[in-house]
Structure 1
Amino acid sequence: MNTHKNARLTVSGRALLVQRILEEGLRPVEVAQSQGVSVRTAYKWLNRYRVEGKEGLQDRSSRPKFCPHTLPEKCQEQVLELRRQRKTYRQISQDLKVGHSTVGRLLSRNGLNRLAYLEPPPPVIRYEYSQPGGLLHLDIKKLGRFNKPGHRVTRDRLKGRSYHVGWEYAHVAIDDNSRVAHS
């Protein structure tokens, strides 16, 4: 777990709290005041240390160990199987009498929330000419020239135009075999 920068007690702070109470003989009220926490918090960490030792001072996950409302494994497998048969969320929830949002959450967790995810994309077949220099791809890019800054610099659309200045062209050639480009 990540403790935030303003946390009153980190793991080392909890160990210091317990050390001051047990080894130095200070009262929990005094230690709690000196470390800026409540007395109840001091007793909580002291009791955890007495029961679990140093492991009791570590951060714990706030996630519950058991949730009585989770779908049974059999029902979860049925949802996934129906999705693999390309059924929609609504069809699955009506067939199994499970909530629409529950189906969506389960499919997202298993990476089947989009129908496109059911089939892997086809591999890209790259064409390559067998002889270097035998096939070139040519492209021409037309670029407008300007002789003074435009409206994006001057913020004036009327005075910032460049009239009759001309064009520049960039010619690009790419070899099909080696993919070497020249401009």
Structure 2
Amino acid sequence: MGIHKNAVLTPTGREILVRRVVEEGQRPMSVATAMGVSLRTARKWVSRFRSEGVPGLYNRSSRPHRSPAQTPAALAEQIAVLRRQRRTGGEIAATMGVSRATVFRILGRLGMNRLKSLEPAEPVRRYERAEPGEMIHIDIKKLDASKNPGDEGGALIQ
């Protein structure tokens, strides 16, 4: 995760904060005030340091470890089956009795949110030649007639 330029506590700053509290014995309130953070923030990092050590001071995802309210896998599979039949999100929502937002969230998670994602990828077309330079490309263009007023065709005269 990137840290913005005005961040008060980088992982190094967090380590300085917890070392002042844990090793030097300073009060969390005085360290928090000196470093420009709240007491709650200081206590959070000290607690993480005590439970996890230095690795606990680094940024981590805020995503929950589990999602108990997530749509059941059986319902998601039924939605996927209907999508493979090329049904629209609205049709699937009406058939399954769930909201369109739920249907599109599930389709996005499954990578089926666009109908073109159901199509097989078109193979790459390559031209292979036996010899290098076998197929030569020549650009032919007319030059601007205003540059050579006597030449009607616009050809370059040297």
| TM norm structure 2 | 0.77
1:107 aligns with 2:103: no
Alpha-carbon separation, structure 2, partners of 1:77 and 1:39: 48
Given the superposition, is the C-alpha separation of residues 127 and 53 from structure 1 closer, same or farther in structure 2, using an over 3 Å criterion? Answer: closer
2:95 is aligned to: 95
Task: Point out the structure with the larger strand share.
Answer: 1
Deviation at 1:129, TM superposition (A): 8.9
Sequence identity percentage:
48
Given the superposition, is the C-alpha separation of residues 37 and 126 from structure 1 closer, same or farther in structure 2, using an over 3 Å criterion? Answer: closer
Residue pair 1:144, 1:166 contacting (<8 A) in 2 also: no
Q: CA RMSD in A?
A: 3.3
Alpha-carbon separation, structure 1, partners of 2:98 and 2:57: 41
Is there any run of 5+ residues in structure 2 with no aligned partner, and where? Answer: none
SS in 2 for 1:5: coil
Alpha-carbon separation, structure 2, partners of 1:81 and 1:11: 46
Greater CA drift, 74-83 or 22-31: 22-31
**Partner deviation per Cα, 1:63-101 (whole Å, 9 max, x = no partner):** 223334321111111111111111111121111112112
2:69 is aligned to: 69
Alpha-carbon separation, structure 2, partners of 1:133 and 1:54: 61
1:42 is aligned to: 42
Deviation at 1:31, TM superposition (A): 1.2
**Counterparts in 2 of 1:74-153, with a 5 A limit?**
74-123=74-123, 140-147=140-147
Greater CA drift, 81-90 or 43-52: 43-52
**Partner deviation per Cα, 1:7-28 (whole Å, 9 max, x = no partner):** 1111111111111112222221
Bigger relative contact order, structure 1 or 2, given CA contacts below 8 A and separation 6+?
1
Alpha-carbon separation, structure 1, partners of 2:123 and 2:82: 26
SS in 2 for 1:168: coil
Letter in 2 for 1:112: M
Alpha-carbon separation, structure 2, partners of 1:168 and 1:54: 74
Q: Which one has a bigger Cα radius of gyration?
A: 1
Alpha-carbon separation, structure 2, partners of 1:131 and 1:8: 63
Alpha-carbon separation, structure 2, partners of 1:3 and 1:89: 38
Letter in 1 for 2:60: R
2:154 is aligned to: 168
